[in-house]
Structure 1
């Protein structure tokens, strides 16, 4: 019989799993905010230790079990290969995995908060934080790059299951069928009309998927909500960030991780737009509460720290930065689709986000100038001095990541 956890029976489950004693109890606020995929329970034990208890809501579906299995497998990887486990900012700390009931329990990092919340509350974007993230991610990708023992370990399948290949996350929008008219709000149909209208957009996504070359261990869901920042990070020399929620981790393309992360920064800019029917899109983007120029130093620090930690990726893929930009565009596309699917919402901000995503995907060389504020050759210059890497020809023209007026013909 499948166990369905709640704040009323979680302690009983922990006791039956030998994870706490009869003296342990829960705090009065043990249930964390709702998640679309998981039930999250925060349990405080008698010694003030805290456990995060997660259970998939649709535990009859295999994908939920597989994701928790992936996070547990990643935790086992850190134990088996200390070289990876010693990378400071990688955190898993899984203490219990119940595959049958889709339950995963790990230690709760009470002195940390989500980086996305930190940015929102403080409205500052310290380069030191971005540098640490880039250095950590580069260290992980470098340590596992083309290492067969790590790849074989991550190919481990749950009992009774088989893994024939690793998932390719470089996918476009799901096939559009007549049923969509009853599933999404009418304004959201504009998104699908525009997506179908731009042939070069679908072609660019197809090229990304076809050229997907997994070569190292990747997080595959590296957004700001899955990065924690220490409450006293300014006073620490290390351990200021932690990368969490490794449910989607697999052998993959490192550009996908970086692109997903860049998209999270770009989304801060796009979510801060001033939206009004009397304001043109171009003016709205310029009046953003959080200007793109405010985020550029952190995004640049992130990418340069990554390349400093893992310069060899440029020899393996000389188009690496271009693919990072394209994956950022793809991540924005997926964000729009998720908002429509789960929140039933689509507005002018979503339209501007679609236009930005399109330009990132179809014109990455030019879009890179706008995202980072400098050209590709300037980004690579510090690494090239150390590694004697060939530098691409410098581009001087900036590309708008949006059109002055969004065209909605055919909607």
Structure 2
């Protein structure tokens, strides 16, 4: 096993463990500079190191510390153990016996209901109701800018054809995304990056990971992300045979559409009552989530695959007609 020196140095800088205390290291796929570290005394740690061009881990650690200190929000965020003296790494408690959500089978009604309930407790924290230092307003959709949705025609030519395909398919949604961004208000404390791989679960309890994008924002974005993520996971259960159509793929779905609908409704039931207008906005924000994922897939592809095409199609449907789509899904 090779343990990189920067990780050991960061861990030593927290005072939690010396290099000789480390027995195992597992770098987490899909999480840059994040590692699970096993110690000789049996403890499991989650270490997150700073990345160039990304928010400092000290800022995220401060948000997590504040969330865990607030009444009603304890245990929504991971347990922060220490930040190294250089501010380059934060160490959290590891969740060795908790379930990591990796796909559709892991996001059952108990889990999505618990995520919805956790978000309701988080969103109950409003600006001015609690003295929270270090928490700032977020940009629309949890981003500081809308750079992913504001590509000029000249810049678009430099993108892979997969991205351009998504962009063309979503042409009717561009003004809608702009309108959603314009109505964004920092009205509640939000996580900003709700998706299955940012959650660990133990029965009906959940902890949300990765608080880089947390701040004051629109709570409907968190809900829309949760719904959009469920739709995306469900899409990956479909058998997208070559030459098939949306109707044929749905008719032969291993997981019926009704099951997707029941998961979405379990999530919203855990959250609590929503007005009809809010349900339409949740559907629209789910469309933004799916559009982001389709564009990200397009950045890595010269030709969009079937899941990417379907993701872009559903993103456009949710954004262009959320009031009709919401009753079907929510």
What interval of TM-score do these two structures reach, taking the shorter chain for normalisation? 0.7 to 0.9
Report the CA distance shift for 1:357/1:32 in structure 2 as closer, same or farther (over 3 A).
same
Distance 2:138 2:64 in 1: 18
Q: Which residue of 2 aligns with 1:7?
A: 3
Residue 154 (structure 1) aligned to one of 135, 139, 152: 135
For residue 207 of structure 2, the aligned residue among 242, 245, 253 is 242
Q: Residue by residue, what CA displacement relative to the aligned partner does 1:107-153 show, whole Å, maximum 9, x if unpaired?
A: 111111222x2x44xx37532222222122112212x0343435665
Residues paired across the two proteins, number: 324
Report if the CA contact (8 A) 2:100-2:199 is conserved. yes
Match of 1:220 among 185, 188, 192: 192
Of 181, 199, 207, the match for 2:179: 207
- Report the counterpart of residue 79 of structure 2 in structure 1: 93
TM-superposition CA deviations, 1:11-30 (whole Å, max 9, x none): 34423432214651222xx1
Which secondary structure state, in structure 2, belongs to the residue aligned with residue 136 of structure 1? helix
Rounded to whole Å, the distance in 2 between the matches of 1:98 and 1:179 is 40
Paired residues of 1:141 and 1:216 also in contact (CA < 8 A) = yes
For structure 2, the residue ranges without an aligned partner over 5 or more in a row are none
Equivalent residue in structure 1 for 2:327, among 363, 369, 372: 369
Inter-partner Cα distance in structure 2 for 1:344 and 1:244: 32
Farther off after superposition, 240-249 or 10-19: 10-19
Instruction: Note the residue ranges of structure 1 that are not aligned, 5 or more in a row.
Output: 1-5, 156-164, 373-411
Q: Could you say which structure has the larger radius of gyration?
A: 1
CA RMSD of aligned residues (A): 2.6
Contact 1:263 1:331 in 2 (8 A): yes
What is the Cα deviation at residue 304 of structure 1? Answer: 1.8
What is the alpha-carbon distance in structure 1 between the residues aligned to residue 175 and residue 60 of structure 2? 33
Aligned residue number for residue 75 of structure 1: 64
Residue 34 (structure 1) aligned to one of 29, 35, 54: 29
The TM-score, its normalising length taken from structure 2, stands at 0.87
Deviations 1:250-293 (A, max 9, x none): 10111000000001110122222322332223212332332321
Instruction: Note closer, same or farther for the CA distance 1:22–1:338 as it changes in structure 2 (3 Å cut).
Output: closer
Question: Normalization by structure 1: what TM-score?
Answer: 0.71
Change (3 A) 1:266 1:16: closer
Counterparts of 2:58 and 2:251 in 1: how far apart (Å)?
44
Task: Determine if the alignment matches structure 1 residue 113 to structure 2 residue 113.
Answer: no
Distance 1:340 1:34, change over 3 A: same
Relative contact order higher in (CA < 8 Å, ≥ 6 apart): 2
